[in-house]
Copies of this chain bind each other. A is one copy, B any other.
Amino acid sequence: MTGVLTVVGLGPGDARWLTPAASAALAEATDLVGYGPYLDRAPERPGQRRHASDNRVEIDRARFALDLAAAGNRVAVVSGGDPGVFAMAAAVFEALEGGDPAWRAINIRVEPGVTAMLAAAARVGAPLGGDFCAMSLSDNLKPWEVIETRLRAALGADFVVALYNPISKARPWQLGRALALAAEFRHPATPVIMARAVGRADEGVRVVPLAQADAASADMSTLVMIGASTTRLIEREGAAPYVYTPRVYGVRP
């Protein structure tokens, strides 16, 4: 008997962003597979098995989950945010494509979630109100040259740019390089959003002008958004300004 594998998006840290569909998928699973801190966000269920791993072995974790499902279990692979955006879903399909042909009989589903850039954007206003690109700044799985080419294209065509995986101990200079590239295309006052751990107890969201954006203030849990030329602030008394990108571009409605 072949089982089921659902890649479940938990959304950002706050449980109030976990969809009912994702909750149901977690509840129905016999086995939960994932990075420890994500597993900790799934409610405990009697009889349900948990298989925690560290955060840097996605493909091994995917193979392990596929094996479990092929043996007839109902497996939920848990993922932060949306599993299809720089998270576990693509890793599962990569493992499937190159792996045991028996895995093809598994019913694989993906349960979407609120991805980090949406929650970060909501915290400050509507910076993604115009066209935007989402990129992973990690050069573990693609050459830096590809990242730089894409950054230049996105900045040059005046997209808002959301950067996932901006920095880590093993990748210390990439975000600084990306911000320097942005400065070639954007005014120094362009709003940059540094959104750390949105929805978690240690959340910290800051909006700074590009000229003052400091890569050292970001970490692995930070989502960085670089505004388009039209992204702007609306000042308020006694509160941080709103940040938004108008839907209107290059015309007066």
- Which residues of A line the B interface, CB within 8 A? 9, 11, 14-21, 24, 58-59, 82-86, 89-94, 96-97, 104-105, 108-115, 118-119, 121-123, 125-136, 141-143, 146, 149-150, 152-154, 156-159, 232, 234, 236-237, 242, 244-251, 253
- Asked if A97 contacts B234 (CB within 8 A), the reply is yes
A240 → B minimal CB distance (Å): 12
Asked if A89 meets B125 with Cβ closer than 8 Å, knowing A112-B118, A133-B133, A248-B142, the reply is yes
Alpha-carbon gap, A84 to B18, bound state (A)? 18
Alpha-carbon gap, A104 to B247, bound state (A)? 20
Alpha-carbon gap, A63 to B104, bound state (A)? 52
Q: A132: which of B16, B127, B133 is its contact (CB, 8 Å)?
A: B133
Alpha-carbon gap, A236 to B159, bound state (A)? 37
Q: A16: which of B21, B141, B154 is its contact (CB, 8 Å)?
A: B21
| Number of this chain's copies in the complex | 2
A-B contact pairs, 8 of them (CB 8 A): A90-B246, A108-B242, A112-B114, A112-B118, A131-B134, A149-B157, A150-B157, A150-B159
Alpha-carbon gap, A246 to B246, bound state (A)? 33
Cβ–Cβ < 8 Å partners of A129 in chain B: 84, 86, 89-90, 93
Cβ–Cβ < 8 Å partners of A91 in chain B: 247
- Asked if A234 contacts B19 (CB within 8 A), the reply is no
- Asked if B247 contacts A90 (CB within 8 A), the reply is yes
A143 → B minimal CB distance (Å): 5
Asked if A94 meets B244 with Cβ closer than 8 Å, knowing A104-B236, A112-B114, A114-B82, the reply is yes
- Asked if A84 contacts B156 (CB within 8 A), the reply is no
Cβ–Cβ < 8 Å partners of A9 in chain B: 118
Cβ–Cβ < 8 Å partners of A132 in chain B: 133-134
Most buried by B among A114, A132, A159, A248: A114
Chain B residue nearest to A90 (CB atoms) is: B129
Chain B residue nearest to A134 (CB atoms) is: B132
- Asked if B236 contacts A85 (CB within 8 A), the reply is no
A228 → B minimal CB distance (Å): 10
Cβ–Cβ < 8 Å partners of A236 in chain B: 104
Cβ–Cβ < 8 Å partners of A136 in chain B: 131, 247
Cβ–Cβ < 8 Å partners of A154 in chain B: 133, 153-154, 157, 159
